[in-house]
Amino acid sequence: MKLLRVGAKGAEKPAILDNNGTIRDLSGVVDDIAGEVLTPDGLSRISGADLSSLPELDAGQRIGPCVGSVGKFICIGLNYADHAAETGADIPKEPILFMKATSAICGPNDEVMIPKNSIKPDWEVELGIVIGKEARNVEEADAMEHVAGYCVVNDLSERHFQIERGGQWVKGKSADTFGPIGPWMVTRDEVADPQNLKMWLEVDGHRYQDGSTQTMIFGVQHLVHYISQFMSLQPGDIITTGTPPGVGMGIKPEPVWLKPGNVMRLGVEGLGEQQQTVVAYAAK
């Protein structure tokens, strides 16, 4: 199933993309694509619905974040061997964990706003894991039972804040609009092998990232197991799993940073595409 949320910010309706590419309203079946709806029981309720009887939604409406009320937005750093090489970093011995503020989450095609005092805004196409069953100290062999599905994530970063301002990476990752997710969550049963997905990102039509989840250092199964040793994972939590090479910071001879007017397009095989226009900071 491809589950999404459609409508104005804060007023999104739960929806499903049927086999004909029509967006159907799930409001009569579930309240939202969030929390308990992402558990096996919740997904079973959706899969049992007669899609042909559900109202069609206007395909021109805004697509919101594919998961609502996200509790934790957990990120994995330097998780692609080829990306670690481009940054000059050593291959991590264990997954590098950091958090991204949930207030960074936005729709897959919403504008991305460069934060105030930003110097080095950057892009990162990533595979996102959506948790569907509480995970606490799970064995690696059982980890996939706790995954509801997958989505595209653009883990936008402000490298000056992240690297040169001291402290944890979270400050360079958490600006408003720095977490587009979607367009939809694809349920686990429809992704045969999350470790064999092509992924790409373009800025103004130039392809900077062209990679594959094959080069992940720590795969999906291991990450769910590993993170669950340090914190419980709840339905609706998102783990974004790292990026392949081609980020702006790694471009030679000079890095390339995002600027107002740039248009990013990105996607992960089988999970859909995103497109964001970059805009300058504007105080509310």
Least confident of 148-157, 166-175, 180-189, 269-278: 166-175
User: Per-residue confidence at 58, pLDDT binned at 50, 70, 90?
Assistant: very high
> How much is the pLDDT for 81?
84
Are 68 and 38 within 8 A, CB to CB? no
For the chain, where do the domains classified as CATH 3.90.850.10 start and end?
73-279
> How much is the pLDDT for 124?
98
* Cis geometry, peptide bond prior to residue 92 (ω within 30 degrees of 0): no
* pLDDT (tens digit per residue) in 95-150: 999 999 999 999 999 999 999 999 999 999 999 999 999 999 999 999 999 999 99
* Residue partners of 207: CB distance under 8 A and separation at least 6: 200, 201, 246
For Cα atoms 247, 249, 253, give the angle at the middle one, nearest 5 degrees. 110
What letter would DSSP give residue 121? E
Are 66 and 184 within 8 A, CB to CB? yes
| Three-state DSSP state, 11 | coil
> How much is the pLDDT for 220?
98
Region 73-279: CATH code = 3.90.850.10
For residue 153, which amino acid is it?
Answer: V
